[in-house]
Chains A and B, each alone.
Chain A
Amino acid sequence: MNLDARIPAGPIQHKWDEHRFSMKLVNPANKRRFDIIVVGSGLAGGSAAATLGELGYNVKCFFFQDSPRRAHSIAAQGGINAAKNYRNDGDSIQRLFYDTVKGGDYRAREANVYRLAQISVEIIDQCVAQGVPFAREYGGLLDTRSFGGAQVSRTFYARGQTGQQLLLGAYQALERQVDTGKVLLYPRHEMVDVVVVDGRAAGIVVRNLVTGEIESHAAHAVVLATGGYSNVFFLSTNAKGSNVTAIWRAHRRGALFANPCYTQIHPTCIPPSGEHQSKLTLMSESLRNDGRVWVPRDPGDDRSPDRIPESDRDYFLERKYPAFGNLVPRDVASRNLKEVVDSDRGVGPRRNGVYLDFSDAMRRLGRKAIEDRYGNLFEMYDRITGEDPYTVPMRIYPAPHYTMGGLWVDYDLQSTIPGLFVIGEANFSDHGANRLGASALMQGLADGYFVLPATISHYLADKLGTDRPSAEHPAFREVEGEARDRLRRLLSVNGDRSVDSLHRELGRICWDYCGMSRNRVGLEKAIGEIQALRADYWRRVRVLGSNEELNQSLEKANRVADFMEMAELMCRDALRREESCGGHFREEHQTPDGEAQRDDDNFMHVSAWEWRGPGAEPVEHREELTFEHVKPSQRSYK
């Protein structure tokens, strides 16, 4: 298979402009002749569906929640990056581009990242015009703050609810198109498969989650905006419903899955409190602007934090990384947190966290300033832990948060199945091996508002006047049948274990062997255990009730079945990548002082995996990466 990213020729600064000029257009009167399916209603899917509707296409938007506003983008707290340079602190498109490529540990595609940095500027304009209430300075102009991995202040924010406000902007734009009739919403509908006819995406098969009905929907193009797969770890910061099914089913139909081992473990989450834990809660990275991370200097020190004098504390991030201090990128911070907890210096009742302490900032700025900046985050922490972070330091520990891997796409965001586009976290994206804070919102909206609407028109332009397969096509019948069979199978096992207990076990394997640090022995063990658990799953899972009703156990069972397959691919990819880069840390490959050691000679490529059938080994294809503008170097934040 030839993996051609189809990166336009010319200087990097002009690639996107030139490409937009060279792409074919669909004239306004002809747009209504095209039907487009968008799966997912988050920042990427919501903004894409709204924009495609504005352009005049007929759009159907599917999502498993009850309203498009629920998508998990809503939970992003900290902010969105843009190279506006309103602060005059030396920011530029070039610098955002550079920071993102470096932050991704030189495993992203330069041309995509440059485009992302260019578009970042327009996103802020668009969102302000929609009424997103970004934080302002007293003069009425936009405020910004700093985020990890950058030395400029380029992160725009709306209190600790930036994702919510950006999503509501996209949601409102989407509802406006619903009102005009250009977009049809399908709430409580889950995509269970994609249908490919003559090598092109022809539509999808969905399950109506209220009635259990299996329905087919045909279109000229299909857009997947279904987010990431962090829930493969069971415990993650993702919403409970976030799942891999849409992209995994597409993978099984021919879309290559790129870099599945690139997972981001976010350093600032609330540590688990017990066995009942159903999810982990993130505390915004912005807290690291003013909070200082520390643990007791000596292992086993169980004094309460106020009784540990300065001299007995270890501010380990500030000590090891003087230039970036507490604001080192996420992968670096997470690994260091794990290291101190593993060396028996963890704090809290389960000794499974580190302190994030605001007392210095409160002395310096006053309690009021801290309340203004982080009030809602402190409240949330108090609510969950029962501790007041204004008086007792917060406790944090890393948790799975974001997945840089996803379906492989070319420069036009098209997968290896023509007509199947993948946007937002669901694609393998612009973040390389590690995403910088406040860049997920930027990428989701860049893809949805600006990139996809341009590139999908180019794809559609030469389909004008040709018939597309209808939902009556036999291929749809066949896929519907397979979906029904699978649901029937899940219902008929009637075993002795709940979906959650099996999912928890899968998560434990992934976390132990394919989490913050990985090694050959562990990964090989994990693959064996996952295979055994997967076989067990189909023998022991217990799902009650029927398909023809709202059946939440069945929904979960269908999603976890895909995680059981996907998890193995993640471990295989981690095993194959014999280097450390970004979020992928192989213990065998580290520098003498314990930092990630890349191997640019052998691994400067994207690994894109091809499905070869159940039980068969997947095949790896490679897209070589070249760096013409940012010279790869050992990433240093010291």
Chain B
Amino acid sequence: MINLTLQVWRQPSPDAEGRFVTYEARDIDPDMSFLELLDVLNEDLLARGEDPIAFDHDCREGICGMCGVMINGRAHGPLPATTTCQLHMRHFNDGDTIRVEPWRAAPFPVIKDLVVDRSSLDRIIAAGGYISVNTGSAPDANEVPVARSDAEAAMDAAACIGCGACVAACPNGAAQLFTASKVAHLARLPQGQPERYRRAIDMVAQMDAEGFGTCTNHGECSVACPKAIPLDVIALMNRDFFKAQFKASV
């Protein structure tokens, strides 16, 4: 069992001023996940009549993308390729002080405590992150062969869970890795070709309209990404975006 000091960002509402509040967490089982630590702390707060800490979470198995906080200044904490729910307390030491805060980015306004509004990411997908195919109109699934390496490369990019850690980790608050992972997923498949260049233009335009920052190749996004999506997707998006400028047909 370990004892920890937590400094947690508390902010009652979007317009209220926030601040760090210090809590002591005693007798923490190293097998607990980070979110279970927050559960235990919340049970304590409730028993004392204090408002529990609001935080987003759902599947708790690293795939829904709902959870995510800054832990000692790092998105999803110290481990590589790990969501907050999959981070276990065995990676912390007795006596550690842990600072917990929400994602910080202008397009992610704080709703309460550690909960932010990430609907800007959905709007980037709505701007073009799809293949336009109505239900019922598809040819047989094996009609178009897809090279195994292409399918694998598409899957590498498609693994994005939309958590927003890339934005939170970026010094510029850019959403390049998020956007590019969808652009690359679809650009690497034959089914994605007809809309390929239009898609790159529309998604980048929406990303800018939402107020995300500019990518200056720090690479922090990929380091923070819980699915370890590599930076090459950004290179692909930049190339497609550039080529698109010269295509009359898009």
Contacts and interface: CB of A to CB of B under 8 A. Distances in A.
A383 B158 contact: no
A191 B132 CA distance: 30
B189 A133 contact: yes
B62 interface: yes
Nearest to B162: A69
A166 B228 CA distance: 21
A185 B64 contact: no
Interface string B144-186: 1111100110110011011000000000000000000000011
A430 to B, nearest CB: 20
A130 B58 contact: no
Chain B contact residues (Cβ within 8 angstroms of A): what range?
35 or more
A129 B90 contact: no
A129 B36 contact: no
A127 B139 CA distance: 10
Contact of B60 (A74, A129, A279): A279
A386 B141 CA distance: 40
Contact of A65 (B31, B50, B58, B111): B58
Interface string A271-283: 0011011110110
Contacts of B32: 274, 276
Contact of B115 (A175, A237, A550): A550
A124 B57 contact: no
A240 B58 contact: yes
Q: Is the interface of B mostly helix, strand, loop or mixed?
A: loop
B29 A125 contact: no
Contact of A72 (B58, B62, B65, B189): B58
Contact of B59 (A176, A239, A545): A239
A175 B125 contact: yes
Interface in B113-139: 115, 117-119, 121-122, 125-127, 129-139
A386 B54 contact: no
B208 interface: no
A137 B126 contact: no
Contacts of A125: 138-141
A587 to B, nearest CB: 32
Contacts, number: 216
Interface stretch (B2-10, B39-47, B210-218, B242-250): B39-47
Contacts of B161: 164
A404 to B, nearest CB: 21
B39 A500 contact: yes
A75 B46 CA distance: 30
A66 B131 contact: no
B51 interface: yes
Interface in A504-556: 542, 544-545, 549-550, 552-553
B162 A176 contact: no
A175 B130 contact: yes
Given A67-B122, A553-B52, A129 B58 contact: no
A179 B202 CA distance: 12
B133 A130 contact: yes
Highest count of chain A CB atoms <10 Å: which of B51, B135, B151: B135
A172 B129 contact: yes
A67 B118 contact: yes
B60 to A, nearest CB: 5
A140 B141 CA distance: 11
B64 A75 contact: yes
Contacts of A274: 29, 31-32
B238 interface: no
B135 A450 contact: yes
Contacts of A158: 155, 158
A331 to B, nearest CB: 23
Interface string A202-225: 000000001000000000000000
A274 to B, nearest CB: 5
A550 B112 contact: yes
A70 B158 contact: no
A159 interface: yes
A175 B191 CA distance: 18
A501 B44 CA distance: 12
A187 B162 CA distance: 15
A138 B151 CA distance: 10
Contacts of A545: 51
Contacts of A553: 46, 52
Contacts of A159: 155
Contact of B65 (A70, A136, A161): A70
Contacts of B126: 175-176, 178-179
B133 A278 contact: no
A580 interface: no
A70 B58 contact: yes
A74 B135 contact: no
Contact of A136 (B50, B121, B134, B147): B147
Interface string B35-78: 11001100100110111101011111111111000000000000
Contacts of A140: 145-148
Contact of A137 (B50, B62, B129, B148): B148
A80 B33 CA distance: 30
Contact of B151 (A67, A136, A281): A136
Interface in A233-253: 237, 239-241
Nearest to A165: B158
A131 interface: yes
Q: Give the residue among A51, A72, A128 with the most B Cβ atoms within 10 A.
A: A128
B93 interface: no
B62 A51 contact: no
A386 B36 CA distance: 16
A142 interface: yes
Given A72-B64, A240-B60, A498-B46, A161 B186 contact: no
Contacts of A210: 111
Point out which of A67, A68, A544 has the most chain B C-beta atoms below 10 A from its C-beta.
A67
Interface string B74-116: 0000000010001010100000000000000000000110010
5 contacts: A70-B65, A135-B151, A141-B145, A276-B31, A282-B61
The 4 tightest CB contacts between A and B, nearest first, are A140-B145, A172-B130, A129-B138, A175-B126
Given A185-B122, A274-B29, 7 more contacts: A70-B64, A75-B59, A129-B191, A276-B36, A384-B33, A450-B136, A550-B54
